[in-house]
A and B are shown apart, each in its own frame.
Chain A
């Protein structure tokens, strides 16, 4: 079983839709959690950190459930430019970082 698991998708949604991604992690000692975005043939870039209390950045909302060991990302009012792969990232102690394999999102006009 992978340490960080994501639904690979793809998710195909129309513009304006709300879409949610989930990610589960198996190591209960994991400390920090992030969502990264990766465009085709580009490097990953930090989208947002995930805080225990949940946090929002514009149209994006991230949630963490430590008891169930899952992280979620909600995108509201999807734009064409949101089309990308979204990577769930978990940090173990000591800066070791585990990336999920990513969830592909296609937003269509």
Chain B
């Protein structure tokens, strides 16, 4: 079974703090993703990475950065947390192999971040 783990299930931070969310996958997947999920808006893609040190912006990258120094680890960084970044953050990975299976996403359990 693919396992995707996230560093924290719940996190409370203050406005202006720098926040690190860590994600690790153990199946040698090529691609990793960070989403946020808000009621009524669904999952929105923040950033994704298709290789070590490679990254691409998703649909809502403003206020976030990412780091992928090793294949199994993908970090999301909130440079200066704001209250509108209070959300559920979900990490996912995909095999990246050819064909439909390459797109199947495996999610971590999520981190519920509250910024006060």
Known contacts A42-B109, A87-B43, A101-B40; A49 and B100 CB within 8 A of each other: yes
* B26-83 interface with A by 8 A CB criterion: 31, 33, 35, 40-45, 48, 50, 56, 58
The answer to whether A96 and B48 touch across the interface, beta carbons within 8 angstroms, is yes
B96 to chain A, nearest CB (A): 7
Q: Is the C-beta of A46 less than 8 angstroms from some C-beta in chain B?
A: yes
Instruction: Among A49, A87, A91, A96, point to the contact of B58 (Cβ < 8 A).
Output: A96
In the bound complex, residues from chain B placing their C-beta under 8 Å from that of A95 are 31, 48, 50, 94, 96, 102-103
Chain A residues within 8 Å of B, Cβ to Cβ: 8, 32, 34, 36, 42-46, 49, 87, 89, 91, 94-102
Bound-complex Cα distance A89 to B100 (A): 13
In the bound complex, residues from chain B placing their C-beta under 8 Å from that of A89 are 105
The answer to whether B42 and A100 touch across the interface, beta carbons within 8 angstroms, is yes
Known contacts A49-B104, A95-B31, A101-B40; A43 and B110 CB within 8 A of each other: yes
A-B contact pairs, 13 of them (CB 8 A): A8-B40, A36-B105, A42-B109, A43-B108, A44-B90, A44-B105, A44-B107, A49-B100, A89-B105, A95-B94, A95-B103, A96-B58, A100-B42
In the bound complex, residues from chain A placing their C-beta under 8 Å from that of B109 are 42-43
The answer to whether A34 and B43 touch across the interface, beta carbons within 8 angstroms, is no
Instruction: Among A8, A46, A94, A101, point to the contact of B105 (Cβ < 8 A).
Output: A46
Instruction: Among A32, A45, A91, point to the contact of B107 (Cβ < 8 A).
Output: A45
In the bound complex, residues from chain B placing their C-beta under 8 Å from that of A99 are 35, 42-44
In the bound complex, residues from chain B placing their C-beta under 8 Å from that of A91 are 103
The answer to whether A32 and B43 touch across the interface, beta carbons within 8 angstroms, is no
A93 to chain B, nearest CB (A): 11
Q: Which 8 A-B residue pairings sit nearest by Cβ, starting from the closest?
A: A101-B42, A43-B107, A99-B43, A32-B103, A91-B103, A99-B42, A95-B31, A46-B104
Bound-complex Cα distance A41 to B85 (A): 18
The answer to whether B41 and A101 touch across the interface, beta carbons within 8 angstroms, is yes
In the bound complex, residues from chain A placing their C-beta under 8 Å from that of B105 are 36, 44, 46, 89, 97
